[in-house]
Amino acid sequence: MSSCAHNHSVAPRRVLLFAVCLTLTFAAVEFFGGRLAGSLALVADAGHMLTDSMALALAALAAWIARRPPSKRRTWGYGRAEVLAALINGTAMLVLVGLIAWQALSRFKNPRPVSGGMVLAVAVAGLAINLLVFRLLSRAGDNLNVRGALLHVLGDLLGSVAVIISAVVILWTGWTHIDPILSLVICALMLVAAVRLLAEGAHVVLNGVPPGLNVEDVRRTLLGIPEVLDVHDLHLWQITSGRSALSAHVMVDDPARWFGLLEEISRALLERHGIDHITLQPESTGAEECLRLARACS
């Protein structure tokens, strides 16, 4: 989903593409390093970085699609492409969690030797890569798409720390059960991130009230305008990240003043709540006048 300004969609796309290259390359390094070292935790972190690469690639694609203008079939444009990407990312993480957890549980029954030195070297390098990607993404804008990618990378950061702890314990004590234990820790981190990402995406799809907005606060703003007598059928939803919409029926004192009142309402909603797209239907005790004005505003 793009923000209102053009430059806010270009910057995230370029950063996301660069992050894809970094994470995909190091995912391969971690995977082969984990296989050579016999570390499931390192392989799990490689799998997590692979889903990060997929997430970032989808996010970059969504950022590009979101820039396309509205069409006759897509009158709202393509901003919600980022929501689709977020839902795909969250689902992929859930599948990976199941696979890693199953492998970790089997390791308790059949423990394998782990090369702690190799695991530690690869994990430290992975931590550095994840820190770099996280810093780049944190400066790339604030929308659901970028936040979804940040959640993936944040999980990878914590996963790298877990693998480093696993390597240190193995080097000091030789206790290899720490490897599947911390693999399950990585699974837990991924599970939390996936559930949060899916919940945010579902909230947008279900036209939930945008974060930071409260229906009653908005209603009070409308009723605080002297010529507004009542408000009903009030709806708030999120078009794209950073862009909220409102529709409502507004009962007014003097229908002849509607056009000037509409400008005052629009200004109040934008300044106090950041709502930049409103659809209002005026109502009054004079039904014919109300109908005429509603048609004129449509």
Residue 139 CA to residue 146 CA, distance in Å, equals 10
Instruction: Return the pLDDT at 221.
Output: 93
Which has more confidence, 67 or 206? 206
The 10 Å Cβ neighbour count of residue 148 is 28
Q: Convert the pLDDT of each residue in 111-132 to its tens digit.
A: 888 888 999 999 999 899 889 8
Integer Rg of the chain from CA = 25
Q: Give every CB contact of residue 291 below 8 A, 6+ residues apart in sequence.
A: none
Q: Which band of pLDDT confidence, cut at 50, 70 and 90, is reported for residue 226?
A: confident
Instruction: Return the pLDDT at 20.
Output: 81
CB 44 within 8 A of CB 100: yes
**CATH number for the domain whose boundaries are 7-205:** 1.20.1510.10
Predicted structure pTM score: 0.71
Percent of the chain with pLDDT over 90: 17
Task: For residue 8, give the nearest of 152, 139, 100, 178 by alpha carbon.
Answer: 139
CATH superfamily of 215-297: Cation efflux protein, cytoplasmic domain (3.30.70.1350)
Domain ranges of the chain: 7-205, 215-297
Q: Convert the pLDDT of each residue in 242-290 to its tens digit.
A: 678 999 999 887 788 888 888 999 999 999 998 988 999 988 755 445 5
Q: Convert the pLDDT of each residue in 4-62 to its tens digit.
A: 333 344 445 677 778 788 888 888 888 898 888 888 888 888 877 877 777 667 767 76
CB 210 within 8 A of CB 238: yes
